[in-house]
Amino acid sequence: MSPFPEKVAAGSGARVVRNVFLLAVCQALAQSGNVLIIATTALAAQTLEGRDFYWTTLPVTLQHLGVMLSVFPAALMGQRLGRAFGFGLGAVGGMAGGGMCSLAIWLGSFPLLCLGGVFMGFAVANMQLYRFAATELAPPQDRAKAISYVMASGIAAGFLGPLIARLTPDLLPHQFLATYMALVMLHAAAFCVLRLIEFPPVKAEQVTGPQRSLAEIALQPVYVVAVLAGMVSFGVMSFLMTAAPLAIVACGIDGREAPVTIFWHVMGMFVPAFFTGHLIVRFGLLNIMLLGIVILVASVVVDIAGIDVWNFRLGMLLVGVGWNFLFIGATTLVTTAYRASERGRAQALNDFLIFGTTATSSLLAGILQQAWGWNALNYLSLPLVGMALLAVLWLRLRSGPSVAA
**Domain for residue 206, yes or no?**
no
**Domain for residue 33, yes or no?**
yes
pLDDT of amino acid 292: 95
Contact 64, 355 (CB under 8 A): yes
**5 vs 132 pLDDT, higher one:** 132
**30 vs 162 pLDDT, higher one:** 30
Residues sharing a CB contact under 8 Å with residue 219, sequence separation 6 or more, in sequence order = none
Per the prediction, the chain carries an average pLDDT of 81
**Domain for residue 50, yes or no?**
yes
Distances (CA, A) of 18 to 12, 14, 64, 153, 236: 10, 6, 31, 14, 34
pLDDT of amino acid 377: 84
Is pLDDT above 90 for 54? no
Residues sharing a CB contact under 8 Å with residue 213, sequence separation 6 or more, in sequence order = none
Residue 59 sits in a domain of what CATH number? 1.20.1250.20
Is pLDDT above 50 for 200? yes
pLDDT of amino acid 51: 55
Counting the structural domains of the chain, the total is 1
Is pLDDT above 90 for 322? yes
Contact 298, 125 (CB under 8 A): no
**Domain for residue 78, yes or no?**
yes
**Domain for residue 380, yes or no?**
yes
How many CA atoms does the CB half-sphere of 142 hold within 13 Å?
13
- Predicted TM-score (pTM) of the model is 0.73
Q: Give the structural domain span for 247.
A: 13-201+213-404
**Domain for residue 312, yes or no?**
yes
Helix-strand-coil percent breakdown of the chain, rounded to 5?
A: 80, 0, 20
DSSP 8-state class, residue 202:
P
**Domain for residue 292, yes or no?**
yes
pLDDT of amino acid 77: 77
**Domain for residue 5, yes or no?**
no
CA–CA separation, 26 and 185 (whole Å): 13
